[in-house]
Structure 1
Amino acid sequence: MSRHVTGRDETADVVILGGGAAGLSLAHRLTRNGTATVVVVEPPDGPLRPPERTWCYWDRETGDLDAAVSASWPRLRVHGADGDEVTVDPAPFRYHMVRSARFERLVHSLLARSPGARVLRATADAVRSVPDGAEVRCTAPDGRALTLHARHVFDSRPLPVLPPARTLLLQHFRGWFVRTAAERFDPLVADLMDFRVPQPRHGLAFGYVLPLAPDRALVEYTQFSRAPLSTEAYEEALGHYGREVLRLGAFRVEASEQGVIPMTDARFPRRVGPAVFRIGTAGGATRPATGYTFAAVQRQSRAVAAALRHRTHPAGRRNGSHGEELLPAPHGRRALAMDAVLLRALDTGRIDGPAFFTGLFRRTPPERLLRFLDGATSLREELGIGLRTPVGPMLRTAAELPFLPRRVRPVPRTGEGHA
Structure 2
Amino acid sequence: MKSSSADRSDVVVVGGGAAGLSLAHRLVETSSATVTVIEPPDGPLRPAERTWCYWDAGADGLEGVVSASWKVVRVYGADGRPITVEPAPFTYRMVRSTDFEGLVHGHLARSEGGRVLRATAESVHSVAGGAEVRCRLPEGPSRTLRARHVFDSRPLTALPPARTQLLQHFRGWFVHTDTARFDPAVADLMDFRVPQPAHGLAFGYVLPLAPDRALVEYTEFSRNTLTTEAYDAALGHYCRDILGLGAFTPENTEQGVIPMTDARFPRRAGAGVFRIGTAGGTTRPATGYTFAAAQRQSRSIAAALRDGHGTFPAPYGRRALAMDAILLRALDTGRINGPDFFSDLFRNVPAERLLRFLDGTTSLREEWGIGLRTPVRPMLLTAAELPFLPRRSRPIARSGESHR
Q: Does TM-score exceed 0.5, indicating one fold?
A: yes
Residue 330 in 1 paired to residue 327 in 2? no
Query: In the alignment, what sits opposite 1:371?
Result: 356
Identity percentage of aligned residues:
73
Asked whether the equivalents of residues 28 and 107 of structure 2 are also in contact (C-alpha less than 8 Å), the reply is no
Asked whether the equivalents of residues 170 and 226 of structure 1 are also in contact (C-alpha less than 8 Å), the reply is yes
Query: In the alignment, what sits opposite 2:28?
Result: 31
User: What letter corresponds to residue 89 of structure 2 in structure 1?
Assistant: P
Query: In the alignment, what sits opposite 2:75?
Result: 78
Distance 1:343 1:156 in 2: 24
Deviations 1:392-413 (A, max 9, x none): 1000000000111111111111
Query: In the alignment, what sits opposite 2:324?
Result: 339
Deviations 1:197-220 (A, max 9, x none): 100000000000000001100000
Give the secondary-structure state (helix, strand or coil) at the position aligned to 1:368.
helix
Q: Which piece of structure 1 moves more, 31-40 or 95-104? A: 31-40
Kindly state the Cα deviation for residue 344 of structure 1 after the two structures are TM-superposed.
0.4
The equivalent position to 2:189 in structure 1, one of 175, 186, 192, is 192
Query: In the alignment, what sits opposite 2:340?
Result: 355
Deviations 1:117-174 (A, max 9, x none): 0100011111121111011111111111211010000000010110111001000111
Distance 2:401 2:91 in 1: 20
Asked whether the equivalents of residues 60 and 94 of structure 1 are also in contact (C-alpha less than 8 Å), the reply is yes
Listed as ranges, the matches of 1:128-167 within 5 Å are: 128-167=125-164
Query: In the alignment, what sits opposite 1:382?
Result: 367
Query: In the alignment, what sits opposite 1:401?
Result: 386
The size of the alignment, in residue pairs, is 403
Kindly state the Cα deviation for residue 417 of structure 1 after the two structures are TM-superposed.
4.3
The equivalent position to 2:90 in structure 1, one of 88, 93, 113, is 93
Give the secondary-structure state (helix, strand or coil) at the position aligned to 2:297.
helix
Distance 1:34 1:364 in 2: 39
After TM superposition, the score normalised by the length of structure 2 is 0.98
Query: In the alignment, what sits opposite 1:314?
Result: none
Query: In the alignment, what sits opposite 2:300?
Result: 303
Distance 2:263 2:25 in 1: 29
Asked whether the equivalents of residues 173 and 222 of structure 1 are also in contact (C-alpha less than 8 Å), the reply is yes
Deviations 1:283-314 (A, max 9, x none): 00000011010000000000001001101xxx
Give the secondary-structure state (helix, strand or coil) at the position aligned to 2:154.
coil
Give the ranges of 4+ consecutive aligned residues of structure 1 lying more than 3 Å apart after TM superposition.
5-9
User: What letter corresponds to residue 363 of structure 1 in structure 2?
Assistant: N
Query: In the alignment, what sits opposite 1:317?
Result: none
Kindly state the Cα deviation for residue 376 of structure 1 after the two structures are TM-superposed.
1.4
Kindly state the Cα deviation for residue 9 of structure 1 after the two structures are TM-superposed.
6.2
Give the secondary-structure state (helix, strand or coil) at the position aligned to 1:187.
coil
User: What letter corresponds to residue 317 of structure 2 in structure 1?
Assistant: G
The equivalent position to 1:110 in structure 2, one of 107, 116, 123, is 107
Listed as ranges, the matches of 1:183-222 within 5 Å are: 183-222=180-219
Unaligned runs of 5+ in 2: none
Query: In the alignment, what sits opposite 1:64?
Result: 61
Asked whether the equivalents of residues 35 and 308 of structure 1 are also in contact (C-alpha less than 8 Å), the reply is no
The equivalent position to 1:411 in structure 2, one of 387, 396, 400, is 396
The equivalent position to 2:264 in structure 1, one of 264, 267, 290, is 267
Distance 2:29 2:5 in 1: 27
Residue 18 in 1 paired to residue 15 in 2? yes
Distance 1:181 1:145 in 2: 52
Kindly state the Cα deviation for residue 35 of structure 1 after the two structures are TM-superposed.
3.2
Kindly state the Cα deviation for residue 83 of structure 1 after the two structures are TM-superposed.
0.7
- Compute the RMSD of aligned alpha carbons: 1.2
Give the secondary-structure state (helix, strand or coil) at the position aligned to 2:344.
helix
Unaligned runs of 5+ in 1: 312-320
Kindly state the Cα deviation for residue 7 of structure 1 after the two structures are TM-superposed.
4.8
After TM superposition, the score normalised by the length of structure 1 is 0.94
Deviations 1:39-90 (A, max 9, x none): 1001111221112211110101122122111100001100000010100000
Distance 1:417 1:140 in 2: 27
Kindly state the Cα deviation for residue 273 of structure 1 after the two structures are TM-superposed.
0.4
User: What letter corresponds to residue 48 of structure 2 in structure 1?
Assistant: P
Distance 1:9 1:117, change over 3 A: closer
Asked whether the equivalents of residues 262 and 414 of structure 1 are also in contact (C-alpha less than 8 Å), the reply is no
